Structure 1
């Protein structure tokens, strides 16, 4: 949002409150007049620094409610009146859309919509890139004439594509010899007996199941016809393998939030585990030598989404659009780049990043100086290369997208049986 528009909002709020300019010295009175936007999501992006940045730039109150992935989805699907904006990943879209928990967005109200790159709109960021199995975000993006979601272009979309990344697993090179990206690093490591008792998995049914499935297939324990949409038989076989591993003491724990994954690694409870990029950055900032694997089988990719609650309307809906536009304004994208995430219109963020930051995070070049993460601690040291290389390289090697499969309900039941076994 421009400064001019920001000032007019503040003037409007002052006048409609029946206040004179003299009351500007009474911040408590003015603050009570500011609209409050409630955002439900995960610890990944609902960070205090971002909340403060947005409140300052937009002149609003922001309430962030971060939870673990499963808890966020459950609350959003069952109680849309509990939030104004939902923030998570595209694999939750089908569930929320079918539950009528979210409403469509008008792309004409998204100022930089045309800047959003082809990854979100076509599933590919380069001509020779792999779209990946499962629900590539573009398959769920556009609202069709019959109210369903699909690939046909329209001005109505189910979500705003913003932050995104490819995920794999992190491993501590203090205990595990560093592998070669795309050559020797493999999902199979998660089920390797050499690491028995030192493996962590994310406790998110729509994510952890793919980490485990990729590991089982890479280890030669089973094959899937389509790993992005497993059959009942395949799900049964997979969980038979996983339960046997769990009962043998193979898994050390199942983490539910990024901070917990960091604790697992820092405390050496695990040597390798499912990880998100902010967790890797944070663990490195605490002195742990974590490598973020670039599996030869390909990554598990995800698309961050911002969605409007079906109950959001009036002034709060207008404020929600301002917040959506703020995310594509440049500085927020630069901020999240420092934790290893990408924004859907990266060129807008480039001027807000140092050349050394852009070259490392987006271009895959060696760091020309020490780089700090969002926590202010050094997470990248001079001379280091980003695990997996450039943005184009990483997103040209997608094995599967986070997905809610046709047999989701059955897989969910088996997941909890696995956890309780």
Structure 2
């Protein structure tokens, strides 16, 4: 039995077991999935519908937009896909419910990065909200690293982020040696720099850049004081008013357009944007900063309002995400999955070696859009999965000063 037949038959069995009404010819269950463009991809929706026998509606948007909606209206979604920094907001708003690990088929396969915050014994855990700190629901409903049978989110896709630069304009650096967050503030790129428009993500890109450039330091970058936030924004607002920043971007396609059009030479980037630019023939390099990466962990959350057959369908979709094919598909835009060995069987050896092992591409590799995004012989910047996650500077985080940073962030955007 080949892999395609195996997956098809296994998915059909799963659908029949989970949704007995289907066998009676009744209407298929439908779930609403809200999140961002980086994972709510049409091929994923179509494949999941086909494999599971359910209807799935995707509602992608900018991260601030969807987080606001999900935190105020639990009926607007059944499942919410974003990053771990959204968990504090959603959990405190009580718009999501705990997930029962006993209903997760592949829970035992999820690796130590998600459950302990470290990919290896040598790894830096990184400042801020390492995913394990927000994962396990305690008897008093607080979240921390102590294992329980209830979790606040399903750990699935994750990656480390940095900045991308057009190597036709910005000289090629050496990963972990010369590439630095300080490049975002280099005078040579005045007017050609863009930052992601997100107060809990772009904030850390700016903080890492300011500290790397020697303009200020932080006692704890993962939980800045109000005074540190003020000093940081004094610096970056002044730079923006001087014309250093071209602006901010709100979605991956927007970040791609900015570099493809020549408006920016260096910017905050997510891996799919880098992949898309390379697919268009633009040599966008995803930096491996010597100071370390800003890391993020994808979360899939269950709405408090999701019950009955919709809840069954939501669990089926969560289990499907860790069943192999989705992890292989998402690897082609540079993302990792929390149980990678299961996805290995759905990737060619060349794909696995490039994306996970950090080895040279044995042949040209396609991205999720079907275009060649990796040329033969190229090596993924930053190396292997383990190497990249051993070098985390800070995780995407909602700090104690989060509400205050929103005001200062808006001042930066409007400056």
TM range (shorter): over 0.9
Residue 306 of structure 1 corresponds to which residue in structure 2? 300
Is 1:407 aligned with 2:401? yes
Report Cα offsets for 1:333-367 as digits up to 9, x if no partner. 00000000000000000000000000000000000
CA distance in structure 1 between the partners assigned to 2:296 and 2:414 by the alignment = 27
Cα separation, 1, equivalents of 2:132 and 2:391: 17
Cα pair 2:12 2:53 within 8 Å, conserved: no
CA deviations on 1:212-249 (whole Å, 9 max, x unpaired) are 00000000000000000000110000000011000001
2:96 to 71, 96, 102: 102
The answer to whether structure 1 residue 87 and structure 2 residue 81 are counterparts is yes
Partner of 2:309: 315
Structure-to-structure mapping, 1:6-405, within 5 angstroms: 6-7=15-16, 12-15=21-24, 17=26, 33-405=27-399
**Counterpart secondary structure, 1:365:** coil
Instruction: Please name the residue that 2:4 is paired with.
Output: none
Alpha-carbon RMSD: 1.0
Judge conservation of contact 2:16–2:22 (CA < 8 Å) in 1: no
Shift of 1:195: 0.4
Task: Could you tell me which runs of 5 or more consecutive residues in structure 1 were left unpaired when the two chains were aligned.
Answer: 18-32
Indicate if the aligned counterparts of 2:193 and 2:247 stay in contact, CA closer than 8 A: yes
SS at match of 1:305: strand
Give the Cα–Cα distance (whole angstroms) in 1 for the partners of residues 110 and 262 of structure 2.
40
Report the secondary structure of 2:222's partner residue.
coil
Distance in 1 between residues matched to 2:350 and 2:29, nearest whole Å:
38
CA distance in 1, matches of 2:176, 2:362: 24
Cα deviation digits, residues 80-121 of structure 1 (max 9, x gap): 111100000000101100000100000000000000000000
Aligned to 2:223, the other structure's residue is in SS state coil
Matches of 1:37 and 1:91, distance apart in 2: 24
Name the TM-score, length of structure 1 as normaliser.
0.95
Which TM-score applies when normalising by structure 2? 0.96
Deviation at residue 310 of structure 1 after TM alignment: 0.8
CA distance in 2, matches of 1:80, 1:251: 37
Q: For residue 4 of structure 1, report the CA deviation from its aligned partner.
A: 2.3
How far does residue 9 in structure 1 lie from its aligned partner after superposition?
Answer: 6.0
1:34 Cα deviation after fit = 1.1
- Count residues in correspondence: 406
Alpha-carbon distance in 1 for matches of 2:146, 2:44: 33
Q: CA deviation at 1:3?
A: 2.8
- Rounded to whole Å, the distance in 2 between the matches of 1:16 and 1:93 is 38
**Partners of 1:365 and 1:9 in 2: how far apart?**
41
Alignment deviations for residues 281-322 of structure 1 (CA, whole Å, 9 cap, x no partner): 001101110000000000000000000011111110010000
CA–CA separation in structure 2 for the residues paired with 1:41 and 1:385:
30
Once residues 69 and 55 of structure 1 are traced to their aligned partners in structure 2, the CA distance between those partners, rounded to angstroms, is: 24
Q: Say yes or no: does 1:5 pair with 2:5.
A: no
- Residues in 2 aligned to 1:412 and 1:394: alpha-carbon distance in whole angstroms: 30
Rounded to whole Å, the distance in 1 between the matches of 2:371 and 2:309 is: 39
1:263-297 deviation per Cα after TM superposition (whole angstroms, max 9, x unaligned): 01100110000000000000110111000000000
